[in-house]
Amino acid sequence: MPDDDDKPRSERCETCQYWLCHVKQADPVSREVIGEGWCRIYPPVVHPQGKESNFTNFLRGEWPVTEGGDWCGEWRPKEGAADWRTLTLEEADLPYRAVTILERAGIKTLGEVMGYSGVALLQLPYFGETLLGYVRTALSRYGAKLRGD
């Protein structure tokens, strides 16, 4: 299902307990991390897949594939999910380089990084536009932004 601006960012596939991400890549234009995964709320859909012989079809089960920003009416928060503001930078799936630089600056959680502006983060040694894009994407999953964005 396509993105819907009326749906809270936190209630998307990527934050649902039934969704399993299997592909992550950065959009070359927006630098937003795009996730694709399987919705596992219901059993896989079984359909014919080729033929073993002229008489027998192989059956294959597959879960629906969705993008992380999609949503449906069955969303449930990930089990044991803490308040997103307390997520460590690693739990927020930031790249190792971003985690290292931010932790050296004393920033350890998403809630803490949210208190900084993009300009302030770019002042950190070796922290560039690409890493800033990853931070913005991580925050956007929860409907949050950097200060001043």
**Domain assignments of the chain as residue spans, ordered by start:** 1-81, 82-143
The DSSP string of 58-120 is EEEEEPPEEETT---TT--BPTTPPPGGG-BTTTTT--HHHHHHHHHTT--BHHHHTTS-HHH
Q: Along the 149 residues of the chain, how does pLDDT read in single tens digits?
A: 444 555 555 678 887 888 887 776 656 666 565 678 888 898 888 866 665 555 455 667 788 889 888 888 888 877 655 567 788 898 888 899 999 999 999 999 988 998 899 999 999 999 999 999 999 988 887 777 898 88
Q: What is the pTM of this model?
A: 0.48
d(CA 55, CA 44): 24
CATH architecture of the domain covering 82-143: Orthogonal Bundle (1.10)
Q: Which of 61, 29, 25 is nearest to 45 (CA)?
A: 61
Q: Residue 114's CB: how many other CB atoms inside 10 A?
A: 19
